[in-house]
Amino acid sequence: MAPSSREKSKKRPALKARHGAAGKTKLPANKPDHKNAAGHRKLKVALVGFGTVGRSVAKLLCLDVHGPLVLTHIFNRNIEKKKVEGFPAHIRWTDDIEKVISSDVDVMVELIGGIEPAGEWIRRALRVGKSVVTANKLLIAESGPQLAEMARQMGRRLEFGASVAGGIPAIIAIQEGLAGDRLHRIAGILNGTCNYILTKMEASGAGFDAALKEAQSLGFAEADPRDDVEGFDARAKLVILTQAGLRLQVKPNEIPCWPISAVEAIDFLYAHDLRCSIRQISLAIKEGTGDGVRLLAAVRPALVPLSSLVAHVQGSQNLVLASGEFAGQIALSGYGAGGDPTAVAVVSDLFSIARQSAPVQAGYQAAMETPVSVSGDFTVPHYVRFVVKDRPGIVAEVAAVFAKFGIGIDALLQKPDFARTALPFIITLEACSSAILDQALQEINSLDFHVQTPLCLPILLT
């Protein structure tokens, strides 16, 4: 999952001095150079946050000594514990944010994450005439349009390409590469942690807990993985893509999300019987026009056909799919997490600011609409897995409830050699409203044969 404020990837070794051990990256000599090769003044950059991503950004900026940017300030709490050898002597290390905001830097790069104090620091930087680059998906999902408007009013830039899908240039591709199209659909895999867990379960037959533990040991998941496995991380990214690509104003709490923790190894066996796999899918669809624009959006685990692109996204990779009226569907894939991929996106935003002096907002180049409704009620086929204490008549009782709600059964699958005291079987359903299906499942849940709560997953035929 793209690193968030928590920057979840393996810790990288401290950067060594220029004449360090063989094979180490050599940073430039400690000579200040605030002009590029053409003699023009370089943009001065301050890093706010020196974790995994911050270190990678600093490394890239210091290696490109002839570029249009110069790193002049690094801020972090307890900065003395964070300082590493080998950086140019002119860089000022500080744990006082006031020294950054009151400095002469041109661009502040915010990498601490979270809503506050990051939001207030960004607002203050914009007010005093600094442009801002951020990888903060939570803040941009919540307040991106307002911050972009503030930047515009101040004649500054706000860039946030690193807030979605790490090193994948999703926002700039959607906004600039597809500027002439009318996008109506955004979909994809936006959380590498969840994708790693699900593909591990699929490949090895491991349970959710074992796959999560491995993801944590490899640095893909945090000690507290709730934001990832509950869908909150992917939802924030979907909000940003919806605002930037579909041009719809929406808040994170308006989009429903479901956890992946209820998925079990046996679900992949049944999914393969249906020629499908299981992934955490983020999906937003714009419907209607004018005053009747509606948004269908959700983040949830779902069955996807093995013939689809999303079924083949492995490990911690991300995939963004954008569909337009004229150009059809485009796909962007790559690693959405880790210090280096995210740092590439941050530095690319810095180069964009260096190239363009005008206060153009890459993420919000067109006015946004407010949808009349936001709903996660998709009408699609569904997969429902039951685990029951077997007795005669169970299927008939389940079928009767589905029929009562007008829901048609497509198929029933039951694998042999399971104990009759905890017997799993699945029913696939014809396309139906997920909201109506929820009502039917509430009634089915009251029946007396369940060993565990049924698992319901949409089948997304795309």
The answer to whether residue 237 is catalytic is yes
* Residue in the block written with tokens 């479901």: 258
CB atoms within 10 A of CB 403: 12
| Token digits of residue 195 | 């994708």
Question: Cβ(12)–Cβ(339) under 8 Å?
Answer: yes
Q: Which of 367, 354, 406 is nearest to 106 (CA)?
A: 354
According to DSSP, residue 35 is labeled B
Are the C-beta atoms of 295 and 242 separated by less than 8 Å? yes
Q: How many CA atoms lie within 13 A of 327 on its CB side?
A: 18
Cα separation, 397 vs 230, whole angstroms: 32
Q: Give me 447's structure tokens.
A: 């029946």
**Alpha carbon distances (Å) from 74 to 3, 61, 116, 310:** 20, 12, 19, 39
As beta bridge partners, residue 384 has 427, 456
**Tally of CA atoms within 13 A in the half-sphere of 318 that contains its CB:** 29
Q: Tokens representing 110?
A: 């915010």
Q: Among the options 82, 130, 237, 286, which is catalytic?
A: 237
Rounded CA-CA distance 111/104 in Å is 19
**Sole residue written with tokens 């409203």:** 433
In sequence order, the 6+-apart residues with CB closer than 8 A to the CB of 177 are 330
In three-state secondary structure terms, 158 is strand
| Nearest one of 433, 299, 329, 439 to 377, comparing CA atoms | 433
DSSP type of residue 225: -
Other CB atoms within 10 Å distance of the CB of residue 355: 8
The residues with which 299 forms a beta bridge, in sequence order, are 257, 282
Rounded Cα distance between 54 and 109, Å, is 9
Q: Are 65 and 89 in contact (CB under 8 A)?
A: no
Name the E strands within 226-345: 276-287, 294-305, 317-324, 328-335
Q: What positions carry a catalytic annotation?
A: 237
